[in-house]
Amino acid sequence: MAELLKVEHLSKVCGALRAVHDLSFRVDQGEILGIIGPNGAGKTTAVNLISGAIGPSTGRVQFGGEDVTGLRPHRLVLKGLVRTFQATTVYGHQTVRENALRGAFRQLFPGFLHAFLGTARARAMRADAGRRIEEILRWFELGRVQNVVASNLPYGHQKTLGMAIALAADPRLIMLDEPAAGLSAEEADHVRDAVQRIRGRGISVVVIDHNMRFISNLCDRLVVMHHGEELAEGTPREVLADRRVIEAYLGKRHAAAAAR
């Protein structure tokens, strides 16, 4: 598979704290990569660095063969790199459809003059975006609730709506920060199915989560972080059997017991 995202020796130092140190990994086209690690391992900081929310101290991020290190989030979105956040990022007072339309700003803005004059080009772009949103909502099984106010959705469906908003931006890669956090097993399965449908469209996905059942049943490869560094990388089976990973999560005594 072709390489889409490449992270090279990425580091972030905040005063005396080394939040991320010398982190390197790749994401291939159409791959689902999981990033896991104990609390405080630097996972969300790594996503923030890659997605432009904060700038790195050292290192480089390449996306689609282009150096995008330090680009602001809105510029990365225009290049096709989109992320979601740990908390649901929906507008609770708006309907499901109105929320999804917010993600389609690339398709909705034909230029200031066209938008101001309401030209045929502007109308055509709005119609195309509307059709795209209808498709995405059906795809995420949200079509029947598209006129429901987002705050009235179950929490798991709000998480799915957050992914639909991201997908409406027409990304090449989506980064999901703890999409299964706070969900029941049934809700997590619903979100997992939604992520697999995203990959089914050839879109790459990076997932951070603590739910090992969710992660191991979803990802092609895992990168394990510990104290801001990469600890291990491989398939879920390989990584979750790694004594270093068990020790990082559970301590040396449990790792020794697991090895017997």
Give the chain's end-to-end CA distance (angstroms, integer): 38
**Residue 98 binned pLDDT confidence (cut-offs 50, 70, 90):** confident
Instruction: Report the DSSP pairing between strands 221-226 and 32-36.
Output: parallel
Number of domains in the chain: 1
Q: Which residue has the higher pLDDT, 99 or 222?
A: 222
In this prediction, residue 24 carries a pLDDT of 97
In this prediction, residue 117 carries a pLDDT of 45
**Residue 115 binned pLDDT confidence (cut-offs 50, 70, 90):** very low
CATH assignment of the domain containing 185: 3.40.50.300
User: Do 165 and 89 form a contact (C-beta atoms < 8 A)?
Assistant: yes
Buried b or exposed e, range 199-232, using 16+ CB within 10 angstroms: beeebbbbbbbebeebbbebbbbbbbbbebbbbb
The helix (run of H) or strand (run of E) holding residue 216 is helix 212-216
148 has pLDDT over 90: yes
Instruction: Report the DSSP pairing between strands 204-208 and 3-14.
Output: unpaired
Whole-number Cα distances in Å, 216 to 35, 87, 134, 233? 11, 22, 31, 13
Percent of the chain with pLDDT over 90: 48
In this prediction, residue 17 carries a pLDDT of 83
- Least confident window among 20-24, 96-100, 220-224: 96-100
**Residue 28 binned pLDDT confidence (cut-offs 50, 70, 90):** very high
Q: What is the mean pLDDT of the chain?
A: 85
Domain extent at residue 80: 3-259
Closest CA to 22 of 55, 47, 46: 46
pTM for the whole structure: 0.85
